[in-house]
Amino acid sequence: MAQFASLFQFKKERIQESADRLFLGFAAGTQAYALEVSSVREILRIPKITSLPKVPSFVKGVIDLRGAILPVLDLRERLGLGTVDPKKGRVVVMLPGGSQALGLLVDSATEVFSAPPEDVLPPPEALRRPQLTFIEALLRTPAQLYLLLKPDTLLTPKEFEALESHAWSGSRTAP
């Protein structure tokens, strides 16, 4: 076990010494997506979700995560790709832009990996449309092309405001 811990520490130090960035890869439908690890808190099996009235259909509701109430969004539904299977999916708990933590329903979390700056590519002109502002970049790896998400743009300001108006102010902030 100590040998594994020292190997992990060595890899972490090498990544910190280089210009590489760490990413979480996950799937929604047949597409691969990624988030910077710095915006991810944890990955959970899908817990019981309490639905909310008068929210967009991709907002599945809220969960109680160790006393913090978090809104949960279905990424597949947000992108018009159907819904995540609640028996097989995962919740990626993230902090978009340092604000209220959100849970993002995905089909699976696939890997944590590093990538050098030259593998983070600007989106092509065809992807630079107002309805695709949540795509920050394309991320090229030897095995996969990921769409790198900008977590703070997964909700429009109006949608985020509507979620905040459900006032779970009695709860603590994200753990």
Q: Which residues, listed in sequence order, are joined to residue 27 by a DSSP beta bridge?
A: 32, 108
d(CA 36, CA 21): 7
pTM of the model: 0.78
What pLDDT score does 155 carry?
76
Number of helical H runs and strand E runs in the chain: 3, 11
- Contact assessment for residue 42 and residue 93, using Cβ atoms and an 8 Å cutoff: yes
What does the chain come to in residues? 175
Average pLDDT, the chain: 81
- Contact assessment for residue 154 and residue 73, using Cβ atoms and an 8 Å cutoff: yes
Residue type, 46: I
What is the CATH code for 2-164? 2.40.50.180
Which of 130 and 81 is assigned the larger pLDDT? 81
Give the pair of three-digit tokens for residue 64. 């109680």
What pLDDT score does 152 carry?
81
What confidence tens digit (pLDDT) does each residue in 50-96 have? 998 888 889 999 999 998 889 999 999 998 899 999 889 999 999 87
